[in-house]
Amino acid sequence: MADLTVTYCGVSFPNPLILPSGIAQEIPADHLRAIKAGAGGITTKSLTIEPREGNPLPRVAKYQEGFLNSVGLRGPGIEKGKGLIKEFLASSPVPVLVSVFATNVHDFVRFASELCPLNPHFLELNLSCPNVEDDMGKALGLGAESASAAVAAVKKVSGSVPILAKLTPNISNIAQVARSCEQAGADGIVAINTAGPGMLIDISRKKPILGAKRGGVSGPAIRPIAVRCVYDIFEAVKIPIIGMGGITTWQDAVEMMMAGATLVGVGSATYFKGYGAYEEIKKGLQEYMEKEGVKNLTELVGAAH
């Protein structure tokens, strides 16, 4: 059987398929299920400083080619969240990417100061959540300067924990933001968060389906945007990329690696296919490697350039 192991920022993953942030909400139960089903790494739901209830119901809607969500960073806040993360880190057999969300540099620094001593494999800065603007201000990743300021400040207190910058596609030049994050010391880039925001309308009620009306778009509908973003970022930076956005099949995973991703996130696909998506994609990747004589998946990274 072809070897699927991949090294990312010096950390070894049993396979390149990771669970993106927020797809499974509960730490650790949902994450352990994804690991059992074959995920090679787990990103925890973006933690906020204060506990948050999230947006009004319904918060999610599925449509033919994608998924709309306005979860709004529902979560336990840093005090309780820190304990849950500590517990999960002790039990996870695969690398863990701890995701945090803040709208100012000070709060990102607090996260790094409190969470890096727990020694997560990575700290992922969510510079890009589209669903919380109304009450929390604009995401820092919307501008190259604010994104790099957050990364630079976090790097001063993060010790040896690699710092990842997760970016939004909802800007005109994602590659420029990625380059600024690299210059500020980011160890890797994660792209993309959800696109949009979008809206779906229930024509019988004549009302938007989501309680918050607008939500981030994920799933197959955004795959071409994600592939283009990763392609552009690969041309702009030297640090490695985690690519995500609509990956559902092994062919999608290969495409994303050819665009420039070392690891790939498989998120919304699990809503359509269940966690079985991981084994299915892994099997397809192994067959592809054997057929094409690929010894290590890193041979594919950036092959389309």
Ligand X SMILES: Cc1cc2nc3c(=O)[nH]c(=O)nc-3n(C[C@H](O)[C@H](O)[C@H](O)COP(=O)(O)O)c2cc1C
User: Would you count residue 170 as binding ligand X (CB under 6 A)?
Assistant: no
Of 251 and 299, the one with the shorter C-beta distance to ligand X is: 251
Of the residues 13, 16, 18, 21, which one makes contact with ligand X according to CB under 6 A: 21
CA distance 39 to 103: 30
CA distance 268 to 67: 7
Sheet arrangement for strand 195-198:
60-63, 66-69, 215-218, 195-198
Shortest separation between residue 291's beta carbon and ligand X, angstroms = 25
Of 186 and 294, the one with the shorter C-beta distance to ligand X is: 186
Give the CB-nearest residue to ligand X.
Answer: 22
Of 149-157, 170-178, 205-213, 243-251: span binding ligand X (CB under 6 A)? 243-251
User: Would you count residue 70 as binding ligand X (CB under 6 A)?
Assistant: no
Q: How far is CA 208 from CA 120, 187, 197, 198, in A?
A: 39, 40, 13, 10
Range 28-67, binding ligand X (CB under 6 A): 45-46, 60, 67
CA 64 to chain centre: 22
Query: Within the chain, what is the greatest distance between any pair of CA atoms?
Result: 55
Range 127-166, binding ligand X (CB under 6 A): 129, 166
Shortest separation between residue 1's beta carbon and ligand X, angstroms = 25
User: Would you count residue 81 as binding ligand X (CB under 6 A)?
Assistant: no
User: Would you count residue 257 as binding ligand X (CB under 6 A)?
Assistant: no
Shortest separation between residue 124's beta carbon and ligand X, angstroms = 7
Of 58 and 185, the one with the shorter C-beta distance to ligand X is: 58
User: Would you count residue 95 as binding ligand X (CB under 6 A)?
Assistant: no
Beta carbons within 10 angstroms of residue 93's beta carbon = 8
CA distance 71 to 59: 5
Q: How long is the chain?
A: 305
The tokens for 273 are 């296919």
Beta carbons within 10 angstroms of residue 291's beta carbon = 9
Catalytic residue status for 229:
no
User: Which runs of consecutive H residues, i.e. helices, occur in the chain?
Assistant: 29-36, 77-91, 105-115, 133-136, 144-155, 174-183, 223-236, 250-259, 269-273, 276-292
Of the residues 85, 144, 161, 247, which one makes contact with ligand X according to CB under 6 A: 247
Shortest separation between residue 36's beta carbon and ligand X, angstroms = 19
User: Would you count residue 168 as binding ligand X (CB under 6 A)?
Assistant: no
Shortest separation between residue 274's beta carbon and ligand X, angstroms = 14
CA distance 155 to 163: 7
User: Would you count residue 24 as binding ligand X (CB under 6 A)?
Assistant: no
Residue numbers at the binding site for ligand X (CB under 6 A): 20-23, 45-46, 60, 67, 69, 71, 73, 99, 126, 129, 166, 193-194, 218-219, 222, 244-247, 265-269
Q: Which amino acids are annotated catalytic? A: 129
